[in-house]
Amino acid sequence: MTEPRIAPTADVDPSAKIGEDSAVWHLAQVREGAVLGEGCILGRGSYVGPGVRIGDRVKLQNYALVYEPAVLEDGVFIGPAAVLTNDVYPRSTDVDGALKRDGDWTAAGVVVREGASVGARAVVVAGRTIGRHALVAAGAVVTRDVPDFALVAGVPARRMGWVGRAGVPLEQVSPGRWRCPAKGELYTEDDGVLSGPYTASDGQAGQSPTDKDTTP
């Protein structure tokens, strides 16, 4: 393991924690109390707000903006110029015309679950959750929670299909049964929820190893 690499032009608050093997590149900013895990990459001009929690092996591409109190789990990818917002009803001033301060509104952070990806210039509205291994297409505007493994695109974002852990769109092999063309992993769909993955050795897709009959 090695110490984190922080570019001389990066702005990292002394109270932020940067994990081993992580890199913070030119003009990136990491605010007070933020936590960055091991093996992460923060690209040029990216921003991590106060108290944001980021897991291991996370990539923030150039100029990605992650506002507090967002949580990014392990293996998350945030594309160039993507924005994770935190204010559901944004206003610069209150009704009396006074400039709003931190205590005048409640921040609602975005949660991005393990292995999920948010494409370039996508916007995720405050308080939304991106499910495990989901894929948000470039330029999408996410206004609702995204299920695990969902591929969403458009404005507002809608589900266009499913992806596997490799990020490749799944192929439907039969009603309610899906296969990853890259890894061969199998998935099952039930009432809009995708489960898996399973391998061919698990038997029929949809039957996990623990579900199989083990009677002698």
CATH code of 45's domain: 2.160.10.10
CB atoms within 10 A of CB 193: 12
Strands of 59-60's sheet in order across: 5-6, 23-24, 41-42, 59-60, 77-78, 117-118, 135-136, 150-153, 158-162
Q: What percent of the chain has pLDDT over 70?
A: 92
Q: Are 123 and 189 part of one and the same domain? A: no
Q: Do residues 127 and 209 share a domain?
A: no
Q: Answer yes or no: do 118 and 24 share one domain.
A: yes
Question: Are residues 20 and 100 both part of a single domain?
Answer: yes
Exposure string for 72-85, b = 16+ CB within 10 A, e = fewer: bbbbbbbbbbbbbb
Note whether 142 and 74 are same-domain residues: yes
Q: Taking residues 33-48, what's their average pLDDT?
A: 98
Query: Rounded to whole angstroms, what are the CA distances from 4 to 56, 121, 186, 207?
Result: 13, 27, 38, 43
pLDDT of residue 132: 98
Structure letter (DSSP) for residue 144: S
Three-class DSSP category at 103: helix
**22 and 59 share one domain:** yes
pLDDT band at 207 (very low <50, low <70, confident <90, very high): very low
Residue 176, domain extent: 164-216
pTM, whole model, 2 decimals? 0.90
Number of domains making up the chain: 2
Minimal CA–CA distance to 132: which of 75, 192, 172? Answer: 75
> Which pLDDT score is estimated for 213?
37
3-state SS, residue 135:
strand
Residue 4 tokens, joined: 């984190």
Same domain, yes or no: 171 and 94: no
Average pLDDT, the chain: 92
Rounded mean pLDDT of 76-105? Answer: 93
pLDDT of residue 208: 41
